[in-house]
Structure 1
Amino acid sequence: MIDQPDDWKGECSNDAPDCTSDEAMVARVPESAARGSLTKCAPLAKLVWFKSGGTADWLFEPADLDDLRTFLSRLDPAVPVMPLGLGSNLIVRDGGVPGVVIRLGKPFSGCEIEDGNVVRAGGGTPGILAASSARDAGIAGLEFMRGIPGTVGGFVRMNGGAYGREVADVLVDCTVVMRNGDSMVLPAEALRYSYRHSELPDGAVVVSARFRGEPGDPEEIGAEMDRIAEAREQSQPLRTKTGGSTFKNPEGGKAWQYVDAAGCRGLTMGGAQVSEKHTNFLINTGDATSADIEGLGEEVRRRVRADSGVDLEWEIQRVGRP
């Protein structure tokens, strides 16, 4: 994103003619407190995998950790804050997101290797980079991150997992900036992980995390990463506008199997479709609104409930105004 000129006063982006921001909320954001990029009425569709949805009242991309802490400490406590990673597991509703969306960019993306087979990764680090850094250092056990389409901050919050492992298996601790601007280190047990869920407070931003693996051979680690990449390519609609796994796997079963059994493969609503390749994925076929996508998901849930009695839970996050 191009930084705004010094005399910029916060006009709505030209890319967002239908900005639906709450002006009272917008007025509570201290523009002078930000050194990074702060954009009013920022379009979010281009930042999420579904390529749909409305604007953020504000989008803040902090210049560094101090910038993030200062901004949050000066932000009116009544203004909601939502961290945004790669937008891979997210529906942004068409009415947009109130308050401030925080996106961690290059200053928060990178990895360091520590003693004891530990990888420290910034909150904006893509999963593939974290896995590759571990491979290059001969650290095994983090290969599954190759299969998580998101950033460290997102999958620490959501206990992301793939191919038999999840973040709870390898997380040592994470550094977070709380809603009031304070930073603290939280050990893994403080997050009280469960399946695709943590108790990280709302508005807290994960700025880095440490993961512990075990000694391994880089070639063998790389081969496992390649296997995961190939498995994803073969089984998932990766080259479409999608949001990843839509529903959590119910206990003792697979979500896609229940969706398939309910006759939902290929089901459409507006521009949204249930993937024919993997029925736990929804697709934007080109012009879907977020209402189409979410509505289709709810229809799938209704049909599965009627067919099998299973009440599928959303795994994809749905945020913003209807």
Structure 2
Amino acid sequence: MTAPVRAPEVGAVVIGRNEGARLIRCLQSLQGQVQQLVYVDSGSSDGSAAAARKLGAQVVDLDLSQPFTAARARNAGLAELDAACEFVQFVDGDCEVDPDWIATATVFLQADTQAAAACGRRRERFPETSVYNRLCDAEWDTPPGEAKACGGDVLMRAAAVREAGGYRESLIAGEEPELCLRLRRRGWQIWRLDAEMTLHDAQMLHFGQWWRRSRRAGHAFAEGAALHGKGPERHWAAETRRALIWGAALPAAIALAALIEPPLLLAALAYPAQAVRLSRRLGAERALFTVLGKFAEASGALEFYWNRRRGRTRGILEYK
């Protein structure tokens, strides 16, 4: 008589800070889907840790004396998982997990032994609330198939993550693509499945929030390129170059040229022309903010270079 196939154990690591009701929804969505639930709290002041304990989660309170990063929180949660957990679902605390996602992703990883990570469609809960939420929703809509990287919500082989050294804790953003790069160097694959995964609540209602988020992306581009940009993957080298050209070098050149020959200020028309060009592929709304975003990204990239020159590191850059 053939013995029944044992289902693999799955643990979940949820990270968050002052997520309130969003965290409750997140934890409740994981109940019954995983065998172990860990919540890592990064200094919340809204009772998040206590609420998580009431829902049966193991709570890890990060040491306040060390800088908070999502990477550090995820590593701390991974360290709490039982050795029996073959897979780990990483989730941001402002996300609700689809009831079918973990089963779908687990079956995929069991069938494809070369895959270290599987992610699905993350959607914004309220895309209609603001243009900034819509931009996020479009950002999450990546094509299914083998991918270079995943985002914060992903089902991974716990052993593969540990063998790769986990997330790089010094990164304030962009830690997921950096880990995926190291996994791919070790022969693993990253997959985006054609399946619903999570609902995300960005709560991005104001221009300043979007600007800070874009600035953080620029910082991540520059730091990622500094780490791996010269490797064969050219990790985020192109993104950094575009940010610095469109967001810093070109505006500076136009301003200096216009001081000598005022008519040269017309060169600034390159920006609306670029927006029009991009609109054919992205639509007018996304094209406009893609062009505007280069200024914020350049600001973040230049901040990284300035801090590195002075031997300093930046703390987390939050937009909520």
Shorter-chain TM range is under 0.3
Larger helix percent: 2
Larger strand percent: 1
TM-score normalised to the size of structure 1?
Answer: 0.26
TM-score normalised to the size of structure 2?
Answer: 0.26
- Structure of larger gyration radius: 2
